[in-house]
Amino acid sequence: MIPIISNRELAPNIYEMVVENKMLARRARPGQFLIVMPDDRGERIPLTIADYDVEAGTVTMVIMAIGTSTRKLVRLGVGDSLYAMLGPLGNASEIENYGTVIMVAGGVGAAPIYPIARAFFEAGNRVITIQGSRNKDLLFWVDKLASVSSEHIVTTDDGSFGRKALVTEPLREFLEKETVGCVYSIGPAIMMKFCAETVRPFGVHTIASLNSIMIDGTGMCGGCRVRVGGETKFTCVDGPEFDALAIDWSIAMARQKSFCAAEKCSLDRYVELNGVEK
């Protein structure tokens, strides 16, 4: 059992949950992920590690509560425990000194990009963070991301905070005016695809962290497969980070929609049984 230390809503339907897990906190590295189960009947939920504290023995996850299992998960609070937590899984980010690194975070991608940005920053890179959101209400960890960035730009689709723009606009401007060693993107697949297309003409090494559908998380079920550079890869054991310019984005995005009908059915039933709003 994994005790929950805190659970707070950062933005509508976005929760920050801190749990006690000393062993995992000791072994976690930026870029890795976990699989959690809220109860013995819940599905296995893959979540990228958002933060960890070796001294306190805690691990932080940021959860977007949009389906049945994530809704069950965020209903747990202090005094409750997770039924199961597996990890750390996947390959850690390769932290090198690139000179300048641009980190692009879209929506809830601000959470998993934080420990990677911090590691690049601590390794002496000039870290430019571009944090995008639909509007100011959905923004979170702005100060936290800024604290590990040499330069931090916020964009919103509606201009309610920061610059009214898509993340690709400041990304292109930085690529045009300075030498960039590496670009990272974490967020919705469509955003990562357009980041890759923005960077392609500049020939800069570009990484995307994929949030594929997963079941076992250990390379056995094939549920998380993607095409990268013409080869089939498993996000859980070969990733979750891949060369963004080599990912077949149409296949990756199509596979994410594979279970939409089943997910909707499950959520409708959950809403009906629990009398909660959709």
Q: Based on CB atoms, which residue is closest to ligand FES, 35 or 110? A: 35
Cα 262 to Cα 7, 21, 265, 267: the distances in Å are 28, 32, 5, 9
Cα distances (angstroms) measured from residue 35 to each of 62, 86, 89, 145, 270: 13, 5, 8, 24, 21
155-214 residues in contact with ligand FES (CB under 6 A) are 214
Binding residue for ligand FES, selected from 99, 159, 222, 229, defined by CB under 6 A: 222
- Smallest distance, ligand FES to C-beta of residue 144, A: 29
Q: Pick one of 66, 86, 142, 215: the residue that binds ligand FES (CB under 6 A).
A: 215
With binding defined as CB under 6 A, does residue 86 bind ligand FES? no
**Residue 162 vs 239, nearer CB to ligand FES:** 239
Task: Kindly identify the residues of this chain, within the stretch 115-134, that bind ligand FES according to CB under 6 A.
Answer: none
Cα–Cα distance for residue pair 243/45, rounded to 1 Å: 24
Q: How far is the CB of 89 from ligand FES (least distance, A)?
A: 9
Neighbouring residues of 34: CB distance < 8 A, sequence distance ≥ 6: 24, 46, 47, 48, 49, 59, 61, 85, 86, 87, 88, 89
Q: Which of 80, 169, 216, 263 binds ligand FES (CB under 6 A)?
A: 216
Smallest CA-to-CA distance from 88 within 2, 23, 31, 24 is with: 24
Short-list 92, 10, 44, CA closest to 224 = 44
Answer yes or no whether residue 84 interacts with ligand FES by CB under 6 A: no
Considering the rule CB under 6 A, would residue 223 count as an interface residue with ligand FES?
yes
Applying CB under 6 A, which residues contact ligand FES?
214-217, 219-224, 234, 236
